[in-house]
Every structure is written in structure tokens, then in C-alpha cells.
Structure 1
Amino acid sequence: MKKTVSVIGAGVAGLASAIRLQHAGYDVTLYEKESMPGGKMHQIKKDGFTFDLGPSIVMMPALYKEIFELAGRDPDDYIPMERLDPMYTAYFDDEKIDVSSDLVKLMAQLEDLSDEDAAGFLSYLKDIYERYIIAKDHFLQRPFRNAKDFYNPFMINQARKLKTFDSANHMIAKYVKDKRLQQILSFQTLYIGISPNNGPSLYTIIPMIEYLYGVWFIKGGMYTMASAMERLFKELGGTVHYNAPVEHILIENKQAKGIQLNGEQILSDFVMCNADFPYAMKNLVKDTEAKGKYTDKKIDSMKYSCSCFVLYFGMDRKYDKVDYVHNFIFSNDLDRNLDDIFSGKLLDKASFYVYIASKMDPTLAPEGKDGLYVLVPVSDLSTAEYEWNEETIQYYRNQVINKLKTIEGFETVEEDIISESYTTPVDFEQRFNAYNGATFGLRPTLTQSNHLRPQAKAKHTDNLYFTGSSTHPGAGVPIVLLSAKIATEELLLDDQPQSN
């Protein structure tokens, strides 16, 4: 008889874990509080426009494809992809720079800035690639089940090679002097919710990954990945229950026994929890001993990533003078802007990102129209010195609109809007159980990374596992897919002696 697994949450890591376990021969049931799969990789449909709710940039496509290849499927049948070049446009006050991952084009752009910075960029790539290989081989793809898994001479030596104590900004400045190029090479730490001003320099692997492996677009937008994983899971025989918010995890004698849903106890041999780890520890794990060090007080004292305010604008025309899908609009004082996000201030000149998916897939908007997804990084709810209300929404909306009107191609943006909706930090907290509305979970500081981050295997409860952005190895769709792989392998490792 097959062993059973209850998976809590149909976010990216929950879906990937469910697929891996179903493929491995378990009888897997997935419980999701929302009415559709994806978690923050949700979708919004309104007035004929279709928007991705959260994630929008496809990096490391091999990790997206891996989950389908594992099951013997052709990824192109599920998530057809196209490489973007240029990857994005960076807008500064006085100019714009189209950023290519084609090395020939890129070098021509860099040499236009300065030969010294072009050489510095190549030195940066060499340095960070060597550190990336160490991180990939020894940290990102493995668990830290016990203290000795990190605290041994070999691993400590590898950790030293990562040179993590410098900040991303400071590290980049060693290689390139042009301020615009520094910002282009460091702002991506915001993809995982931490500031380049004080985030570990290792996270400059993110732009390196863009340059070496490209940025891609999945037909239909990012939600295609979520719906494709749901489809694969069902094809493998898995069961999904939507509108099914789990009340708590059943724990008896230091062992997970299943879940409680609508007052009913549903037993299973294992529990895989994809709910945000801080939320899960506070709300789903009721047993005090099972919490271990993650008491309510500890959860509240941890550092959280920034949040996001996302605007979804349906436009009454095509934006033909805006060339590319991904567009980053930088404040003229980005350093202050970043400091204000992480100190809780209301931003007066916010940097933001504009994603126009309908440029690549016209079916995402009515004929002759485009949809604009605008993301503003903002403070998480525990840090913010202001409330999220209609006044705050309009404050940021007006800031975005007024800035866009100064950019070529967007001049008529205000009168072009025929549909709009929003996702605020409060929505991330209430709809997706993102603790403090922190879109990317726990902030990946040095003291909340690798062996110091919550791990896949529960420390004080057998048969309970965690996956998702607040667990090791961290946030971002590709990394969360690795989290699912680690969590699944941990479960299989524990079950292996019983199956032999």
C-alpha cells in the first residue's frame, strides 16, 4: 500500500514537492486555501486583460524544465519558452540603457561607457562565477540537517571562499566605476527581498545568472508554470483540494500524523508544508515542543524581506514605442530609496519595474491593447511607518503615473488606463499568508542563510517537512524549486530505511 503525503499549499514549492513525491510512488494530496494553484505565482483576469500577480522574470530555465523532465515529459509541451534579448531596459533620469545578455552586444555597450569598466565587468563575472560554482555545489542544493553538516573544516573552508561579508554594492564598486552600471549589476538583490546596500555580496550571482543563462518568457506568462505543474501532478495521479485552508498540523508523540481541515482530522504518513515558514510555525504548528527555537517571540524578532505594491493597468492602446517586456525605472537617488524601503519610510521618489507581458503574448490583452504590470518595492508591514489604505495606494499610484509620463513612450499613460487593480503588502499577508506581508519571506541576511535558515526537515517532529521561500536555500522561483527538491530528498532519506 502506498504511503500518503499531505502537502499544504499549492505554491511553486508545494506543487514541485507534490510532483516529485507522486512520481516517487507516494499517494499525494495537495491542500490549497485559494481557488487556483501557484501561491504568489497567481493570475489576475479583469476586463479582458490577464496579468501575472507576482513573479514575472524567468531565470535559470533548466530548473523550470527539470520538474517536467523528471517525470519523463517534454517541457516544451508544458512551458514553451522564448529567450529575451535585450533582457530589459534600465531607465535613468537622463537616458535609457538596453541590457543584453549577448556578449558581443554587451561588450559594445560597456565599451561605450568606458574600457576600464568593460574590463572590470569581465573581472566581476570571473570572480562571481567561481563563487557561484562553490555555492551551487556545496550550499544551494543540499540541506543542513545537523550542525556538523556545516561546522566541519571542509565546509568552513568553502564558506570562506564565498567571501560573503562584503555588501553587493561595495563589491560591484570594486569592479566598475560608472554609477549606472553599478546599479544595473546590484539592484537584482531586490528579487529576493534584500537591499544591495547591505545584502551579502554573494547575491550578485543574480545578475551573473541573467548574463550567462539569459532571461526568458513563458508563453501565457508565469502563471503557465503554475498551471502546468498542476496539470502534471494530476496526470501522475495526484489529488488537489482548493478552497481548503488547513487549520493546523496534527502532531502526536513528536510525530506529524496529518492535518486538520474544517474541523476534520485527515491522517497521512508525512506532511510537507509549503505555507510560509514563519506563518506555519505560529499558526499551523500548535505543539510548543514541536516549535523548538521558533517560538512566537523568535518569529517576531526575525528579519523579513521587503514587500511589494503591484499595480495592474489595462491600457487602451499598444505601447509600440516601449521596446521590451521588462523595464526598470531607477530613482535618481537609488541608495536613499533602498534605505527608505528597509527603514520603513514612505518613499518620495520610488524606483519601480514595468512588465508588459502582452508584448510577447498578445492573447494576454484585448486586441490593440497592452497590460502594464507595475511593481514598487516597499517596506514589509512590521517595518513600515505608515498604514496601507486608499490614501497610500493613491500616493504610490500617482508617483508611478507622474514618473512614467516623463518617459518616452509612456507620455499618455494616465489617460490610457481603462482598467486597474492592485496587490498591496496587506494582500500578500492576508491572501498568501506571507508573514508581515514580506513577499520574499525571511530576509536572506548572513544570520538567516544556509545552515542558519529554517531547514526542510523539522528539528523536533518526525515526518514533517517544510519548503518555500523562507526555508533554505531561499527566495526566487528557481531557488524555491531547489527548496522543493531538497525537502523531497530529505523525506525520501528518512523513509528509505523503512522501504528496504
Structure 2
Amino acid sequence: MTKSVTIIGAGIGGLAAAVRLQKIGYAVTIYEQADQPGGKMNQITGQGFTFDVGPTIVMMRAIYEEIFEFCEVDPHDYLPFQRVEPVMQLIFGDQTTMQLSSDLPSLIAELERVAPEDTSGMLAFLADIYQRYTIAKPNFLDRSFRTWRDFYNLPSLYAGLQLKTFNNAYRSISKFIKNENLRNSLAFQTLYIGISPYQGPSLYNIIPMIELFYGVDFLPGGMYTVVTSLVRLFEELGGTLHLNTPVTAINIDQRVTTGVQVAGKSVPSDYVICDADFPTAMTTLIKDEKQRGKYTNHKIANMDYSCSCLVFYLGLDKKYPTKALHTIHFAKDFQQNIADLFDHGRLPTDPSYYVYVPSQMDPSLAPPDCEAVYLLVPVPELSKFSDWSPEVVAAYRQQLLTNLSQTEPFTDIEDHIIFEQQFTPQDFKTQFGAYNGATFGLRPTLKQSNYYRPHNKFSYADHLYFCGSSTHPGAGVPIVMQSAKLAVKELLTDDQPNK
């Protein structure tokens, strides 16, 4: 008899787990509370404009393709990747600029123009972090942890020492690079997973290395094409997806998960994989604290959470000749900007922000002769800053647009906005269940990484597994897809131990 698996949430983790299990031969049902799949990898449309809600940068293309290869279909029939070059445009606080490229001659030429004294240091930095990545991948990123023995053993401890994780990301960069702008260009990218470069382990410098070594891609239709492609594959394989169907509880009886509660009814299932944000799942789906082990309400409330994001989706009635698909604008005082986010819990007075213009590569994302512009600024999560009144949002919007209009080509952007929406941390909490509105889930500190991050197999009840940004191995779309792969692996270990 075919065994059943219930998956809570049709975010990228839930979808990635679902297609694997459906391909293996399980009867998989996904329950999604929203009216469309994707979780934070969602989509906003209006007046002919189309925007990705959350993630926008496609890195580690091979991880996306591997899911389709596992299901024995051609990834190119689902995901028509296009290489992005340059990878990113950087505009620093002193108004100097730099383009990051995954083409080595182009990168060298740009380094020699911007910081010739650091060109060899940059290459040494990339080589160092690549070497550490080759250690981290098999020992930590591709492995799950059930018990302390999986982590506290000689091979793992030796690998951990080789990673030199006790340095923070910024200090590690500074060992190789003297130019402050170049340091900041690398340090900023730890914000992709919601942690300060002055506090985050140096291993997270793998993010800029991955961009430069493996390149950045774009998908026609935006990142939401990943969601529609996985849903299509899941349904082709015979899976069932229920939208507008929230799970209200995970049923646990004598430390064994028996199913879920949906619409006031108990739905039995042999196994459950939860893609809801782990802290939110603990506090809302497992009502009895005794069934959660150490994850009491007090424990959850006192864990460290990533920063959040304030995002503006702007439809413009004019085309703009941007130099890159992705652009980062840096604060004049980057260190103060980060301190405001993580230490002081206030809106940065001089923020760094990110601009994405997807209609540059896919004109169908905007009406003819129009532009779709995505403007994101990292902000504190809700336990640190919670006043997202319309007045506060409007004032900060004005500040950002004033800053943006001081750089080419957006000098007249305020005169050409014909469509606008925004997402605040409160929206990330309300719509996607992000605990504290923390866009990237639990902050990946040393005390909340690897064995110390919530496990893919739940420690306090059998037949229950977790994936998503707050679960091992962490945040970022490719890493969340990896967490789904590990959750499936753990389920198979329990159900098919001899395979």
C-alpha cells in the first residue's frame, strides 16, 4: 500500500520535498494556506506589471536543475535559465562605482581600476573561501544531524576547525583586502541570509564567492517561474496541491506524528513534512508545549532572528537605461547602517538598499515602454522595531526615492510611478508566517547553525520533518532547497532504512 506524506506549505522547500517524494512513489498532498503557491517566493501583478515578492537572485543553478534531473526530466524544459552579466552593479557611498563579473578577465580589469592594490588579495580571498566551501559542503551543507554523535565526532570537529568559523565575515575579508568599498561589497552579501557581517561567521563569505565562481542567472517570468515549474512537475507526477487550505495543527500521539488538522477535521498521514517557518510552526501548530521538547514559547521568543526587509514594487511609465539587472547602493557609513539594523533596532538613517529591474531582461514583466523596479532595504525585525504605520512607511519611502533619484538613471523616478505596492515586516509575518517578520528566519549565528539549528528530523516526535530557512542548513533559496532534500533523506532513513 502506498504510504502518504502530508506537506505543510507550498513554499520552495515544501515544493522541492514534494516532487522528490512523489517521484519516489509516495502519495503526497500539499496544504497551502494562501491562494497561490510559493510562500515568500511569490508574485505581485497589476496594471500589466509583474514583480517577484521575495527572492530575486538566482545563484547555484545546479541545485535548481538537480531536482528536475532527480525526477528524470530535462530541467531546460522547465527552467530556461539566462546568464546575467555583469553579476551586479555597486554604487558606493562616495558615489564611485564597480561592476562585479563572473568573467575572470572582466573582474580583474575592474579590480585593477577600482583597487589595484587589492587585486591579488581579492583572488587570495576567493581561493581561501572556496577551499573552505569544499570542506563545508560535504561535512555540513549536505548532511543532516539527528543526534549529538552526528556532529561531535572527530571528522566533523576536524572539518569545523578547518573552516575557521570563529572569525566574523568582515574581519575575514579584511585580512585580504584593504579598500573599504571593496570590503563592503563583499560584506553586504551576508544580509542575503539576514545576518550582520560584523557578527556572522566568516563561512558566509561563500555567498560572494558563489556569485563570482558559479555565476548568476535569470529566469523569464522572474523567480516565480521556479514555483510554477515545480507545481507543474508535482502535478505531472500525480501529486495533490490544496490552496486556501491552512493546516491548523500537527497531530502527535505518544511522540508519533499521525497527521494534521485541516478545516476542523483530522487528516491522517504516515509522515508529515512542515515547510512553515519553524518558530511559527512550534508556537501555532503544536499547541501542547510538552510535545515540543526544548522549543517552548519562551525558548522561541528568545532565539535570535534575522533582519527583515521593506520592499517597494514600482511600475514606471518610462524605460531606464540601467547598467545592470541587480544594483546595490551603499550607505556612506556602512558600519553605522549595520549597527542600526542589528544593535540599535531602528530604521537606518542612511540605508544601503538594493534595486532590481527585471523588465530589463524580460520586457513582458512591464507594459510596452515601461519598467518594473523592485526596491528593497534591510530593516530590523519586529521585536526590535514594530512601528510600520502608513506614516512611517511613507516617510521612509520618500527618503529612499530621494536617495535613488540622486543617481543615474533614476533622477526623475518620482514623476513616473504609475503602479506601486509594498511589503513591510508585518506583511511578511501576516502573509507568510515569518516569525517576528524576520524574512530569513532564525539568524545563522554559530549557536544557531549546523547541529544547533532546528533539525530536519524533529527530535521530539517521530514521522515529523522540517525544511525551510529556519531549519538546517539555513536561509537562501538554494540552501532551503537543500533543507528539503535533507528532510526527504531523513524520512527515507526512517521508512526505507535499507535503501
Q: Which stretch shifts more, 259-268 or 114-123? A: 114-123
How far apart in 1 are the matches of 2:350 and 2:116?
A: 32
Number of residues of Structure 1 aligned to a counterpart in Structure 2: 497
Letter in structure 2 aligned against 1:163:
K
Q: Determine the structure 2 residue equivalent to 1:60.
A: 60
Q: Work out the CA distance in 2 between the residues paired with 1:311 and 1:44.
A: 11
Give the 5 Å matches for 1:23-102: 23-92=23-92, 93-102=94-103
Residue by residue, what CA displacement relative to the aligned partner does 1:171-224 show, whole Å, maximum 9, x if unpaired? Answer: 111111111110111111000000111111110000000010001101110000
Asked if the contact 2:255/2:291 (under 8 Å) is kept, the reply is yes
Letter in 2 for 1:89: Q
AA of the residue aligned to 2:247:
V
Which residue of structure 2 lines up, in the alignment, with residue 109 of structure 1? 110
Aligned residue number for residue 292 of structure 1? 293
Q: Does 2:287 correspond to 1:281?
A: no
Write the distance in 2 (CA, Å) between the matches of 1:484 and 1:365: 33
Instruction: Give the C-alpha shift of residue 108 in structure 1.
Output: 1.1
Structure 1 counterpart SS, 2:247: coil
3-state DSSP of counterpart to 1:130: helix
2:13 paired residue number: 13
Residue number in structure 1 paired with 2:306: 305
Corresponding letter in the other structure for 1:108: A
Preserved contact between residue 100 and residue 212 of structure 2 (Cα < 8 Å)? no
Residue 472 (str. 1) matches residue 454 (str. 2): no
Provide the rounded CA distance (Å) in 1 between the counterparts of 2:139 and 2:217: 27
Deviations 1:123-143 (A, max 9, x none): 101111110001001000111
Q: In structure 2, what is the Cα distance between the partners aligned to 1:152 and 1:74?
A: 39
SS in 2 for 1:185: helix
Amino acid at match of 2:468: G
**Identity in percent:** 53
Whole-angstrom distance in 1 between the partners of 2:146 and 2:268: 26
Structure 2 equivalent of residue 162 of structure 1:
163
Q: Is the contact made by 1:350 and 1:399 (CA closer than 8 Å) also made in structure 2?
A: no
Map 1:388-427 onto structure 2 (within 5 A). Answer: 388-427=388-427
Paired with 1:250 and 1:151, the residues of 2 have a C-alpha distance of: 32
Q: Quote the Cα distance in structure 1 between the aligned partners of 2:280 and 2:464.
A: 15
Query: Are 2:229 and 1:217 equivalent residues in the alignment?
Result: no
1:226 is aligned to 227
Amino acid at match of 1:103: L
CA shift for structure 1 position 460: 1.3
Question: Counterpart in 1 of 2:371?
Answer: 370
- SS of 1:196's equivalent? coil
On the 8 A contact 1:289/1:460 being kept in 2, the answer is: no
**Alpha-carbon distance in 1 for matches of 2:376, 2:351:** 10
Cα deviation digits, residues 105-136 of structure 1 (max 9, x gap): 11111122344300101110111111000100
Aligned to 1:184: 185
Question: Tell me, what secondary structure is at the counterpart of 1:247?
Answer: strand
How many angstroms apart in 2 are the aligned matches of 1:411 and 1:265? 57
Shift of 1:73: 1.1
Question: What root-mean-square deviation, in Å, do the aligned CA atoms of Structure 1 and Structure 2 show?
Answer: 1.0
CA contact (8 A) 2:316 2:371 kept: yes
Runs of 5+ unmatched residues, structure 2: none
Counterpart amino acid of 1:216?
Answer: D
| Cα distance in 2, alignment partners of residues 129 and 315 from structure 1 | 40
The offset of 1:289, in angstroms, is: 2.9
Alpha-carbon separation, structure 2, partners of 1:14 and 1:298:
25
Could you tell me which amino acid in structure 2 is paired with residue 12 of structure 1? Answer: I
Q: Give the 3-state SS of the residue equivalent to 1:373 in structure 2.
A: strand
DSSP 3-state at the match of 1:465: strand
Is 2:338 aligned against 1:338?
yes
8 A contact 1:167–1:201 mirrored in 2: yes
* TM norm structure 1: 0.98
CA distance in 1, matches of 2:114, 2:355: 25
Contact 2:98 2:114 in 1 (8 A): no
1:122 aligns with 2:118: no
**Inter-partner Cα distance in structure 2 for 1:170 and 1:395:** 35
Could you tell me which amino acid in structure 2 is paired with residue 217 of structure 1?
A: F
Instruction: For residue 211 of structure 1, give the secondary structure of its aligned residue in structure 2.
Output: helix
Alpha-carbon distance between aligned partners in 1 of 2:145 and 2:72, rounded to the nearest angstrom:
30
Q: Does 1:452 align with 2:452?
A: yes
Q: Work out the CA distance in 1 between the residues paired with 2:350 and 2:46.
A: 29
Q: Which residue of 2 aligns with 1:485?
A: 485
Q: Distance in 2 between the 1:460 and 1:272 partners?
A: 14
- Whether 2:173 is the aligned partner of 1:172: answer yes
Instruction: Work out the CA distance in 2 between the residues paired with 1:245 and 1:14.
Output: 14
